[in-house]
Amino acid sequence: SNNYLGLATNPRLIQADIEATKKYGVGAGAVRTINGTLEIHEELERKLAKFKHTEAAIAFQSGFNCNMGAISAVMNKKDAILSDALNHASIIDGCRLSGAKIIRFNHADMNDLRAKAKEAKESGLYEKIMVITDGVFSMDGDIAKLPEIVKIAEEFDLITYVDDAHGSGVLGKGAGTTSYYGLSDKIDFQIGTLSKAIGVVGGYVAGSKDLIDWLKVRARPFLFSTSLTPGSAGACIEAINILSESTELNDKLWENGNYLKKQLKNLGFNIGNSQTPITPCIIGDETKAQQFSKELYNEGVYAKSIVFPTVPLGTARVRNMPTAAHTKEMLDTAIAAYEKVGKKLGIIK
């Protein structure tokens, strides 16, 4: 589950949702730029900016909308975008919508990024060049090399853009990949979702006040979609309050993630090179991965298979997403099922 911290069922969030709904109603009634901006939306955006260590933030209806709106609001056909080969589909679609020249660099390959940034800059063909990366890559759990990316961006005057959907609430004591590296002031666009670690729904862009002011008048999903429901905004605010008060849930998430990784690796599963609680069991064969998932379900463990084209052909896997809500007993039950099914299917000895 993407519900990393177990906040989707947290009593404080549920109560905050109820109270906001009673006060404002079940819907905002309009888009933000007409009369759909309520006090609670502005409070949420102030909380997000503080949480992400930026001047300002803007809330969208989803993380997908953030990437569709933010990229196309800033980049156009006179520009170029350097995009990691494993970036999320919403980034790919946002880049396409912008009309900018899309230049893919090999996943996490800083030599390739630098070479392509140099070529794009020296060509003189582009007014602006942006580099975009996921903060945490959702299929493998690896973390973007932001220090190297920032260094290359400074060398070639690139706009920096990080989609931290799977990093916010997880890394940097909850504040995300940019805080994990201490680079909050070096990233122009910080994108996040309110549906994963936050446990509700929605997305946001955090950055400079000038950037956010620009997005408020140019990002089409923001301009032409009804605002987040008041209840959702209230629940998101309470989630940020919880994360700001304590690292308890974040610590538990990492404890569970590290425990699951260690046990699966000891059993002989290939868990790749994940640096986060995301723990893939890489099977390889698509049919066997799907069978593995089905057999686990029969043992009482829900773990979805991920196959081509979501991941490259021959790297099919079952992706595990432990959360702070899991108990050690739950994890041990899952590990026992993995051992039983893994041996049955010949995946481990």
Catalytic-residue membership of 186: no
- Cα–Cα dist 278/258, whole Å: 10
CB count, 10 Å around CB of 200?
A: 25
HSE-up of residue 206 (Cα within 13 Å, Cβ side): 31
**Residues near 134 by beta carbon (within 8 Å), at least 6 away in sequence:** 84, 86, 87, 88, 91, 144, 162, 163, 164, 165, 166
Q: Catalytic residue, from 52, 196, 252, 261: name it.
A: 196
- Would residue 72 show up in a list of annotated catalytic residues for this protein? no
Catalytic residue among 62, 90, 138, 184: 138
Angle made by CA atoms 195, 200, 206, in degrees to the nearest 5: 60
What's the token pair of residue 130?
A: 């942006």
CA 126 – CA 164 distance, rounded (Å): 26
Pairing mode of beta strands 316-320, 56-60: unpaired
Among the listed residues 150, 134, 136, 140, the one whose alpha carbon sits nearest the alpha carbon of residue 182: 150
Q: Please indicate whether residue 138 is annotated as part of the active site.
A: yes
Q: What angle do CA 134, 79, 159 make, to 5 degrees?
A: 45
Q: ω into residue 309 within 30 of 0, thus cis?
A: yes
Q: Please choose, from the candidates 137, 127, 171, 167, the residue with its C-alpha nearest in 3D space to the C-alpha of residue 311.
A: 137
**32 DSSP assignment:** I
Terminal CA-CA length for the chain: 28
Q: Is 14 in a helix, a strand, or coil?
A: helix
Q: Which of 47, 88, 116, 166 is catalytic?
A: 166
Tokens of 39: 């006090």
> Which residues are identified as catalytic?
138, 166, 196
